[in-house]
Amino acid sequence: MSATSGDRKDSRNCSSNPPRARISDRFWNRSSLLEESAVIKTQGLTHIHLMVRSLDRSLRFYQEVFGMKECFREGATMVFLNTPGSHDTITLNEDAEMSELAGKSAGIAHFGFGLANPSDLDAAIVQVERAGGKLLRRGDHAPGVRYAYVADPDGYVIEL
């Protein structure tokens, strides 16, 4: 069942809960943070936020290729997705006022997904192409360490 504009699914298992709900209150107490360390303690990267030209097209791509599940929507133009079995979150945003940013990385070269079975790389590339993405290049980082760079329908580069 897909959430509609403004509706939220049960987000207790979503890594895209607001950060304060996931991090202890001690984190938000500035004095205790400074007393403990000069390093900000996190629970890891929470999400990647992508500006997209077509929310429906991008949603379909990430669901078909990576099996991502819709977690919740924020308004009519933003959807939060999670990868199955993990806490990875991609936020897709079709904001008309920011559409010129779709597909542009502003210095971020790519993001990557580790395949559960590296021998599935060829099948993963086929799935990307079937879902509207394209293979950019492939090779070996080292002997036996294969990779492929693919692009989603907006042009974002993803390493597999």
Please tell me the predicted confidence (pLDDT) of residue 65.
94
What is the pLDDT of the chain when averaged over all its residues?
79
The structural domains of the chain, with segments of one domain joined by +, span 19-159
Cα(94)–Cα(114) distance, integer angstroms: 26
Q: For residues 80 and 28, which has the higher predicted lDDT (pLDDT)?
A: 80
Strand order in the sheet with 78-82: 48-51, 89-93, 78-82, 69-74
- Tell which residue, 62, 64, 41, 42, has the closest CA to residue 50: 62
Residue 107 has pLDDT above 50, yes or no: yes
Angle between helix 55-66 and 121-130 (nearest 10): 160
Cα(39)–Cα(102) distance, integer angstroms: 33
Residue 135, H or E segment:
strand 134-142
pLDDT in tens, 8-58: 444 445 654 443 343 344 444 545 545 555 686 766 777 889 999 999 999
Q: Which residue has the tokens 């929507």?
A: 73
Cβ(130)–Cβ(64) under 8 Å?
Answer: yes
CATH topology of domain 19-159: 2,3-Dihydroxybiphenyl 1,2-Dioxygenase; domain 1 (3.10.180)
Please tell me the predicted confidence (pLDDT) of residue 98.
83
Cα(151)–Cα(138) distance, integer angstroms: 12
Please tell me the predicted confidence (pLDDT) of residue 150.
96
Considering the entire predicted model, what is its pTM?
0.69
Cα(35)–Cα(6) distance, integer angstroms: 40
Please tell me the predicted confidence (pLDDT) of residue 21.
41
